[in-house]
Amino acid sequence: MLLPSPIHQVSFRGKSLFVKRDDLIDPFVSGNKWRKLKYILQDAAEKNKKHLITFGGAYSNHLLAIAAATAKNHLKATAFVRGEEVSNPMLTLCKLFGMQLRFIDRQSYQHKEALFEEHYANDSNVYFVNEGGASKEALIGCAEIIEELKEGFDHIFCAAGTGTTAAGLLKGINKLQLQTTLHVIPVLKGGEFISDEIAMYESDLNKLQLHTDYHFGGYAKTTPELINFIKDFTSSTGILLDPIYTSKMCYAIFDLIEKGIIKKDAKVLMLHTGGIFGILGKIDQFS
Ligand SMILES: *Cc1c(COP(=O)(O)O)cnc(C)c1O
C-alpha cells in the first residue's frame, strides 16, 4: 500500500500539472475505491462481519476493489451484477480473487436493500456495501486525500460518477479552509445532479465548480478524440488514464486551460482516482 500517495509533476502540451497518484495506492483496490473502502472495512471488522455483499455493473472498478480487498483481509464477498450473465476480463479478475457473482435483472437491481433483505435476512455475518461504496465512511476516507496535501493548489480536479469522492474532497477543503477550487467532471450525461448529491453530504458548495460538458456522449462512452487524448497523454507522461473516468477529467483540464478559464500559470492538481482496468472494456479501440 503506497500511502500517502505521491504527487508527480508532469508537463503536457507545454503546461505543468501535478498528479496525486491514488492509482498507485494498490494495483487492484485502486484510487478512490481504496479511499472509500478504508473505513467500510474497518466498520465491518468492528461489527465482526465476515461477508461483504455489494453491487455493480459488469465493468465496475468497485467490484474489483471489493474482490481484492476482501481476499487480502480473509473476508468473503458476493456481488450482485447488473444485467444478464456475461463474462469479461474484469469479472474474471473478480472471480480470481474469490468473489461470488450473482447476475440480476436490471429491474430487481434497482432495489438493492430489498435484494439484500431477500437473500440475506437470516445471515448475521453479512455486511451491505452500496454500489460504488457510497457511504458516510467513504466520505471520511476521501476527505483524507486533502489532509495528505503538504502544499496548496489553486485548483483540484476530480472525476465524478456518484459524486461521493467529490463530496469528500469538498469536505476536506472546507474543513481546512483552503483557498482551493474543486472542479468536478461528471462522466455521465446530465451531470448537473452531481451538485445535489454533493449537497447531501456537504452544505457549503462555494468552492465547487461543476463542468458538465465533458461526458463524451455519456457513461462509458468514448470518442476517437478521447482515445487519441489518452494515447497522447500516456505516451507523453508515462501516466495511464482510464477511458471511463480519469481521461474525461484530464481532457477537461487541458481544454479549460486552452480556453483561458483556468490560468496557464495556476497550480493545478489532478486526482488520479485509478480504475485503469476500465481500459480492458475498451481495449479494441486502442489497437
Ligand atoms: C468509481 C470511480 C470514480 C467515481 O467516483 P464517485 O465517488 O462515484 O464519483 C472516479 N474515478 C474512478 C477511476 C473510479 O473508479
**Structural domain contains residue 2:** no
Domain finish residue from 133, 150, 181? 133
Please state, in angstroms and as integers, the Cα–Cα distance from residue 39 to each residue in 95, 118, 185, following that order: 24, 26, 25
Between the CA of 140 and the centroid of ligand 1 the distance, in Å, is 15
Which has the closest alpha carbon to 202: 211, 212, 194, 214? 194
Beta-bridge mates of residue 21? 272
pLDDT band at 136 (very low <50, low <70, confident <90, very high): very high
Same domain membership, residue 155 and residue 256: yes
Same domain membership, residue 155 and residue 95: no
Domain finish residue from 97, 113, 133? 133
pLDDT in tens, 76-124: 999 999 999 999 999 999 999 999 999 999 999 999 999 999 999 999 9
pLDDT band at 243 (very low <50, low <70, confident <90, very high): very high
- Kindly write down the DSSP assignment for every residue of 125-179, as one continuous string: TEEE--GGG-SHHHHHHHHHHHHT--S--SEEEEEESSSHHHHHHHHHHHHTT--
pLDDT in tens, 34-58: 999 999 999 999 999 999 999 999 9
Domain CATH code at residue 126:
3.40.50.1100
Ligand 1 pocket, residues with Cβ under 6 angstroms: 31-33, 61, 132, 159-166, 242, 245-246, 273-275
60 flagged as catalytic? yes
Same domain membership, residue 158 and residue 84: no
Q: How far apart are CA 235 and CA 122, in angstroms?
A: 52
**Structural domain contains residue 122:** yes
Q: How far apart are CA 121 and CA 115, in angstroms?
A: 10
Same domain membership, residue 146 and residue 126: no
**Structural domain contains residue 1:** no
The one-letter code for the residue type at 45 is A
Strand order in the sheet with 100-104: 100-104, 76-82, 51-56, 126-128
pLDDT band at 287 (very low <50, low <70, confident <90, very high): confident
Between the CA of 122 and the centroid of ligand 1 the distance, in Å, is 32
What is the pTM for the complete model shown? 0.96
> 145: which 3 cell numbers?
486525500
Residue of 21, 165, 250 with the most ligand 1 atoms within 8 Å of its CB, for mutation: 165
Domain that holds residue 21: 7-31+135-286
Whether the per-residue pLDDT at 258 is higher than 90: the answer is yes
Between the CA of 245 and the centroid of ligand 1 the distance, in Å, is 7
Q: Which atom of ligand 1 is nearest to the CA of 36?
A: 7
Same domain membership, residue 280 and residue 157: yes
Mean pLDDT of 208-237: 98
The one-letter code for the residue type at 19 is V
Same domain membership, residue 82 and residue 13: no
Same domain membership, residue 27 and residue 58: no
Using a pLDDT cut of 70, give the percent of the chain over it: 100
pLDDT in tens, 144-187: 999 999 999 999 999 999 999 999 999 999 999 999 999 999 99
Which of these is catalytic: 30, 60, 195, 247?
A: 60
Q: Which atom of ligand 1 is nearest to the CA of 275?
A: 13
